[in-house]
Amino acid sequence: MSAKLGSAVLRSRWALGGLLIALVALVGLGDRLTGPEFAFGIFYALPVALGAWFLGRRAAAALSLMSVATWLMADDLGRLPSPHPFLLYWEAVAHLGFLVIVALSIAALRSRRDMERQLVDFIVHDLRTPASAVGIALSSLLREPERLDCRQRQVAEIAKSASGRMLELIESLLNLSRLEAHRMPVEPQVLSLGDVVARVTQQELALWAEDHEITIQAEVPASLPRAYADPAIVERVLANLLGNAVKHSPPGSQVRVRAERNGAEVLTISVADQGPGIPREWARRVFNRFEQVRARSARVPVGTGLGLAFCRLAVEAIGGHIWLESEPGAGTTVSFTVPAANGTAVPSP
């Protein structure tokens, strides 16, 4: 899997390099057609900047030299002979210096961002071990009820729940980083959405929903075709969406999970709650990590700010898409699609 991923990344880098070279040539053509009086040469900074951000300093340096050579051919070599023969070369050096400064600045910004991201990943990864140890210790303690009185047991259960939530946040951060870097393994297989919905609703979230006085209703037709997706990712996405729905639903309300066919090759899973709803202007934006930070500041009910961002990246990784429909006071419905597996029907139980 890693070898295939590395080969794909290498091919994408070569493809991007070819596109940037073509962009240099296109800018050179525009420079030649417009002439020196339009200062079209400033656009050579575009392929250099893209090369520095996506391919690194060496590629940006090569693109800088190529851009200066193209500029010389497209612009200055078409001028009338100058009384100052060194002026042409001075302009070329000035252009090259400008492009190199652009390349180094952008490459430094990219390098700093990558280092900060790696530091966050290391810290989050190191936090997982002590958080797991705390959860294991509390579970062991709760298995010996004779050592605890009622108050102590209640406090231990609260602490265990908090440590479990901490582990969920840590896993969300790690998975977000993996998905953004295209390093999270995706292993699609033929699966029954009915089985997935049953596992999530009857095992993972049943007690939590009962504690919040929420009823979860699942609607999965017996004739629904099988899906072709990574079951772990589909379960994680569905659990996140259901967790948000339960958290933001009033006691005594209902959360509905529905799976249905949406065309010949696509299946749709939707989670609908009866909560406070989300303003229409936030419906598209809440799936972005940083927009969720702004949404929480605006008191929009979006959970931790990590769950929906993970869901979007995870659904896209298995070839689907996700969207949200909501009105303030009328509840929220979040839907996502998964590919169908050759239209094979799930046998009735």
Bigger pLDDT: 264 or 242? 242
pLDDT above 90 covers a percentage of the chain that reads: 13
Bigger pLDDT: 44 or 76? 44
Least confident of 75-89, 199-213, 218-232: 75-89
Most confident of 128-142, 206-220, 322-336: 322-336
- Cα gap 336→315, rounded to integer Å: 7
* Residue 90 confidence class, pLDDT cut points 50, 70, 90: confident
Single out the residue of 15, 8, 7, 64 nearest to residue 41, CA to CA: 64
Single out the residue of 222, 224, 220, 218 nearest to residue 190, CA to CA: 224
Could you read off the pLDDT of 113-146 as tens digits, one per residue? 877 777 677 777 677 778 788 888 888 878 877 7
- Cα gap 315→167, rounded to integer Å: 22
Residue that is written with structure tokens 């893209």 in the block? 50
CB proximity list for 239: less than 8 A, separation 6 or greater? 200, 204, 205
Give the angle 284-288-293 at the CA atoms, nearest 5°.
105
Examine the pLDDT at 75 and tell me if it is beyond 50: yes
Mean pLDDT for 220-241 is 89
* Residue 256 confidence class, pLDDT cut points 50, 70, 90: very high
Least confident of 186-200, 275-289, 308-322, 331-345: 275-289
Supply the pLDDT for residue 310: 83
Supply the pLDDT for residue 315: 92
Single out the residue of 314, 320, 64, 345 nearest to residue 182, CA to CA: 314
Mean pLDDT for 195-217 is 81
Mean pLDDT for 103-122 is 81
Could you read off the pLDDT of 308-327 as tens digits, one per residue? 888 888 899 898 999 988 87
- Cα gap 147→198, rounded to integer Å: 36
Single out the residue of 160, 153, 154, 158 nearest to residue 137, CA to CA: 160
Supply the pLDDT for residue 118: 72
Residue ranges of domains in the chain, CATH in brackets: 1-185 (no CATH), 189-345 (3.30.565.10)
Supply the pLDDT for residue 227: 92
Q: How buried is 21 (Cβ within 10 angstroms: 0-12 exposed, 13-18 middle, 19+ buried)?
A: middle
Mean pLDDT for 78-98 is 71
Residue type present at position 82: S
Supply the pLDDT for residue 93: 86
- Cα gap 196→177, rounded to integer Å: 25
Which pairs count as long-range contacts for 184-188, CB under 8 Å and 24+ apart, including other chains?
Answer: 184/314, 184/317, 185/1, 186/230, 186/233, 186/317, 186/318, 187/230, 187/232, 188/228, 188/229, 188/230, 188/318, 188/339
Q: How far is CA 200 from CA 139, 319, 333, in A?
A: 22, 21, 18
Q: How buried is 235 (Cβ within 10 angstroms: 0-12 exposed, 13-18 middle, 19+ buried)?
A: middle
Supply the pLDDT for residue 272: 92
Could you read off the pLDDT of 151-205 as tens digits, one per residue? 888 788 778 777 776 777 777 777 777 777 677 778 889 999 999 998 888 865 7
Least confident of 28-32, 36-40, 341-345: 341-345
Supply the pLDDT for residue 338: 94
Supply the pLDDT for residue 302: 54
Supply the pLDDT for residue 38: 66
Supply the pLDDT for residue 1: 44
Enclosing H/E stretch for 91: helix 87-142
Helix, strand, coil content of the chain in percent (nearest 5)? 65, 15, 25
